[in-house]
Chains A and B, each alone.
Chain A
Amino acid sequence: MEAAHTHDHAHGHDDHAHHPTGLMRWVTTTNHKDIGTLYLLFSLTMFFIGGLLAFGIRAELFQPGLQYWEPEFFNQLTTMHGLIMVFGAIMPAFVGFANWQIPMMIGAPDMAFARMNNWSFWLLPPAAILLVSSFFVPGGAPAAGWTIYAPLSTQMGPGMDLGIFALHIMGASSIMGSINIVTTILNMRAPGMTLMKMPLFVWTWLITAYLLIAVMPVLAGAITMVLTDRHFGTNFFNAAGGGDPVMFQHIFWFFGHPEVYIMILPAFGIVSQVIPAFARKPLFGYASMVYATSSIAILSFIVWAHHMFTTGMPAAGQLFFMFATMLIAVPTGVKVFNWIATMWKGSMTFETPMLFACGFLFVFSMGGFTGLVCAITPIDIQIQDTYYVVAHFHYVLVAGSLFAIFSGTYFWLPKWTGHMYSETLGKAHFWLSIVFFNITFFPMHFLGLAGMPRRIPDYAMQFTDFNMIASIGALGFGLAQLLFVAAIVKCARGGEKAPANPWEGADTLEWTLPSPAPYHSFVTPPVIK
């Protein structure tokens, strides 16, 4: 394998030898590594924009009463924070990882459709501009919550149209990206790499990409219906014309629930690469991990109505969706068990990627448990639309998806940049993040149980203390992320030279390449024994 890549440039494509430089290099690039970098930088930018909106929310909630924003603007903040973080930060970050890592991990020279890959990425910045510019149109940005429930979304100003167009474009980008990923994984694996020999990150992305292809079009359908209800006189969700607003929720959550697994399965994949590397043991229960991931994906299609327990469905429906939801705890439990079993009796060291992976394991599991609490119908009826739910999904999305993204970034930064990151900065980033994360979101459980509703800019006096704690935590968490930027910038600019494999226990194909990974890798596929 070592010999395979050293002659890359000799028989590499001629046109890449003198590819455009400067800005045009990035605009016209079809290289999976360049596109991966673009995705990751885009996602980092959106992460900070979404974070700024979150700070606006927490500033308003620092004290009861209305301090800074009108309630209408507050609703825009919560909505846009959700939309930007989900569609602008978390999802593109994972696609960035997929672009960088999947070809290297399966021994392919590039993605299957390099030109389409370029297009998938370059659809995103215009979509983001559309979305963010909705703040400046009459009536402001979408304010119906990230779920854009009808009839709120069918009544708002032109900001909602901009939001819908942005979602359409991002959806198209996701579908093309997923088709690319599935094709690459199915057709371009190195000889000898059977499906069951693929690294788990590749497996989780294969399943995620299938989920995306299945549900992004359903979201596109739902928002198209909102659009025609708004402008073309249809009545899909308009009760007066024979439609039903609850119908929107059914269609939205048919997309929405698989969507939350789209945001967590690649995180499982990253953690499944990191933990074995730092425990210096192969992943425990590889096959069961694959089956658990697939079962989670299949179950995700039959649990959507647990988001709608209070819409007045028959008891039989509530029972079905309650039990189906609880069933998901089984494959998830298998995964958590396997990660811990991988650590068991391993020679563990705690560099930053491993710290984030352990943090993920601990805090994500807490989010998983509150998910089980929310799944119980009678309890959900009490806590739905309260801060308990906000706490729950931030435990799985921030401490789950985001921590896994951090873990993966530190894990692969040496491969991407050719330099070791600063362990001091990384560790400071981890400890500040996990402490401030819990200061921010743990009190929200209590607020929710005590009945504080979400998406409301004002609250009753008795909620003040916990809200102050949460707001202070949010400020700390936000500032801690500047360390992440500092660590990346420092690493990209220089530092200790990274060896081909800086991690003793990492054994996937990308580590056989020199660091930084050459622009063209595995032009001659390696042979897997």
Chain B
Amino acid sequence: MVTLTQSNLQTMRKLFIVALAMFGFGFALIPFYQKICEVTGVNLLLKPAEISNTQVDVTRFVTIEFDSNLRSSLPWTFKPLETSVRIHPGELTTVLYEIRNTSTRAITGQAVPSYGPNVAEQYFKKLDCFCFTQQTLQPGESRQMQVVFVIESGLPKDVGTITLSYSFFEVEGAAKKAG
């Protein structure tokens, strides 16, 4: 015969276990979502693109503007060597950015791209980009880095200008590991 107190405590234990499991579930959502994004191809900003059709559409010009930002007082300078290019859709293009570490310590940074207008993102195919890896700069070191990209010819007709904007973030604690 189970008393009321015993069955109450049993119910409480079960419910506390559910609560603890749900706390863990919150953290489990992180790898879960990453897997989903990988499988469905969402949010692949930092992975090389594969392009299928390299037909150059010479009847059309698109202006690509390059923008650069540094976040949270990262002591670097960061700028594109040319501020804009005028190209045809389908044309393989390479541009250079330059970063310099103006501080006296080694710093690792990660660049994250964004596109304006937003709709251009799916037509902007980066084959190579410095944003695919973290960049570690020794004190005073500077580096020129390339972005190789193709604008797919399916780009909507009303998009004449695309802004590619990079923000560099400091990856704290990473420079030491990178050595």
What residues of chain A have their CB less than 8 Å away from a CB belonging to chain B? 112-113, 175, 178-179, 182-183, 186-188, 213-222, 225, 233, 235-236, 238-242, 244, 246-247, 250-251, 254-255, 312-314
- Extra inter-chain contacts (17) besides given A188-B8, A240-B171, CB under 8 Å: A112-B8, A113-B12, A183-B12, A186-B11, A187-B8, A213-B19, A217-B19, A217-B25, A217-B26, A218-B26, A220-B23, A221-B25, A221-B26, A225-B26, A241-B169, A244-B33, A247-B33
In the complex, chain B residues whose CB is within 8 Å of the CB of A238: 169
In the complex, chain B residues whose CB is within 8 Å of the CB of A219: 26
Instruction: Let me know if B26 and A220 touch, CB within 8 A.
Output: yes
A221–B25 CA distance with the chains assembled, in angstroms: 8
In the complex, chain A residues whose CB is within 8 Å of the CB of B19: 175, 179, 213, 216-217
Q: Is B16 an interface residue (CB 8 A)?
A: yes
Q: Which 7 A-B pairs have the closest CB atoms?
A: A221-B26, A240-B169, A217-B23, A217-B22, A218-B26, A240-B110, A183-B11
Encoded as 1 (CB less than 8 Å from any A CB) or 0, chain B from 55 to 81 comes to 000000000000000010000000000
Encoded as 1 (CB less than 8 Å from any A CB) or 0, chain B from 77 to 89 comes to 0000000000000
Instruction: Let me know if A250 and B18 touch, CB within 8 A.
Output: no
Closest Cβ neighbor of B6 among chain A residues = A187
Instruction: Let me know if A244 and B20 touch, CB within 8 A.
Output: no
Instruction: Let me know if A214 and B22 touch, CB within 8 A.
Output: yes
Instruction: Let me know if A221 and B8 touch, CB within 8 A.
Output: no
Closest Cβ neighbor of A243 among chain B residues = B30
**Residue among B19, B42, B171 with the highest chain A CB neighbour number at 10 A:** B19
Instruction: Let me know if B171 and A241 touch, CB within 8 A.
Output: yes
Instruction: Let me know if B172 and A183 touch, CB within 8 A.
Output: no
Q: Given that A183-B15, A188-B4, A216-B19 are known contacts, is A222 also in contact with B112, CB under 8 Å in the complex? A: no
In the complex, chain A residues whose CB is within 8 Å of the CB of B11: 112, 179, 182-183, 186-187
A236–B33 CA distance with the chains assembled, in angstroms: 12
Instruction: Let me know if A179 and B15 touch, CB within 8 A.
Output: yes
Judged by DSSP, the binding face of A is helix
- A–B complex contacts, Cβ < 8 Å, 26 sampled: A112-B12, A175-B19, A179-B16, A182-B11, A183-B8, A187-B4, A187-B8, A213-B15, A213-B18, A217-B19, A218-B22, A218-B23, A218-B26, A221-B24, A221-B26, A233-B172, A233-B173, A238-B169, A240-B71, A240-B112, A240-B168, A241-B110, A242-B110, A251-B29, A313-B42, A314-B42
In the complex, chain A residues whose CB is within 8 Å of the CB of B27: 221, 225
For residue B138, give the distance in angstroms from its CB to the closest CB of chain A: 19
Q: Is B118 an interface residue (CB 8 A)?
A: yes
A393–B123 CA distance with the chains assembled, in angstroms: 37
A213–B173 CA distance with the chains assembled, in angstroms: 37
For residue B141, give the distance in angstroms from its CB to the closest CB of chain A: 19
In the complex, chain B residues whose CB is within 8 Å of the CB of A113: 8, 12
A247–B33 CA distance with the chains assembled, in angstroms: 8
Q: Is B170 an interface residue (CB 8 A)?
A: yes
A325–B169 CA distance with the chains assembled, in angstroms: 37
A242–B174 CA distance with the chains assembled, in angstroms: 12
**Residue among B22, B30, B42 with the highest chain A CB neighbour number at 10 A:** B22
Instruction: Let me know if B112 and A239 touch, CB within 8 A.
Output: yes
In the complex, chain B residues whose CB is within 8 Å of the CB of A188: 4, 8
In the complex, chain B residues whose CB is within 8 Å of the CB of A314: 40, 42
Instruction: Let me know if A214 and B169 touch, CB within 8 A.
Output: no
Closest Cβ neighbor of B108 among chain A residues = A240
For residue A377, give the distance in angstroms from its CB to the closest CB of chain B: 16
Instruction: Let me know if B20 and A217 touch, CB within 8 A.
Output: yes
For residue A131, give the distance in angstroms from its CB to the closest CB of chain B: 21
For residue B1, give the distance in angstroms from its CB to the closest CB of chain A: 14
**Residue among B15, B168, B172 with the highest chain A CB neighbour number at 10 A:** B15
Closest Cβ neighbor of B32 among chain A residues = A250
Q: Is B7 an interface residue (CB 8 A)?
A: yes
Closest Cβ neighbor of B46 among chain A residues = A242
Q: Is B90 an interface residue (CB 8 A)?
A: no
Instruction: Let me know if B12 and A179 touch, CB within 8 A.
Output: yes
In the complex, chain B residues whose CB is within 8 Å of the CB of A251: 26, 29-30
Encoded as 1 (CB less than 8 Å from any A CB) or 0, chain B from 160 to 172 comes to 0000000011111
Q: Given that A187-B7, A313-B42 are known contacts, is A215 also in contact with B22, CB under 8 Å in the complex? A: yes
For residue B86, give the distance in angstroms from its CB to the closest CB of chain A: 28
A238–B118 CA distance with the chains assembled, in angstroms: 20
A112–B173 CA distance with the chains assembled, in angstroms: 49
A16–B33 CA distance with the chains assembled, in angstroms: 53
In the complex, chain B residues whose CB is within 8 Å of the CB of A240: 71, 109-110, 112, 168-171
Instruction: Let me know if B8 and A222 touch, CB within 8 A.
Output: no
Q: Given that A112-B8, A187-B4, A233-B173 are known contacts, is A244 also in contact with B43, CB under 8 Å in the complex? A: yes
Q: Given that A233-B173, A241-B171 are known contacts, is A222 also in contact with B40, CB under 8 Å in the complex? A: no
For residue A295, give the distance in angstroms from its CB to the closest CB of chain B: 20
Q: Given that A238-B169, A240-B110 are known contacts, is A182 also in contact with B15, CB under 8 Å in the complex? A: yes
A240–B18 CA distance with the chains assembled, in angstroms: 34
In the complex, chain B residues whose CB is within 8 Å of the CB of A112: 8, 11-12
For residue B137, give the distance in angstroms from its CB to the closest CB of chain A: 15
Closest Cβ neighbor of A212 among chain B residues = B19
**Residue among A219, A238, A239 with the highest chain B CB neighbour number at 10 A:** A239
Closest Cβ neighbor of A214 among chain B residues = B22
In the complex, chain B residues whose CB is within 8 Å of the CB of A213: 15, 18-19, 22
In the complex, chain B residues whose CB is within 8 Å of the CB of A178: 15
Closest Cβ neighbor of A218 among chain B residues = B26
Encoded as 1 (CB less than 8 Å from any A CB) or 0, chain B from 82 to 124 comes to 0000000000000000000000000001101000001000000
Instruction: Let me know if B4 and A250 touch, CB within 8 A.
Output: no
A242–B23 CA distance with the chains assembled, in angstroms: 22
In the complex, chain B residues whose CB is within 8 Å of the CB of A239: 110, 112, 169
In the complex, chain A residues whose CB is within 8 Å of the CB of B24: 221
In the complex, chain A residues whose CB is within 8 Å of the CB of B42: 312-314
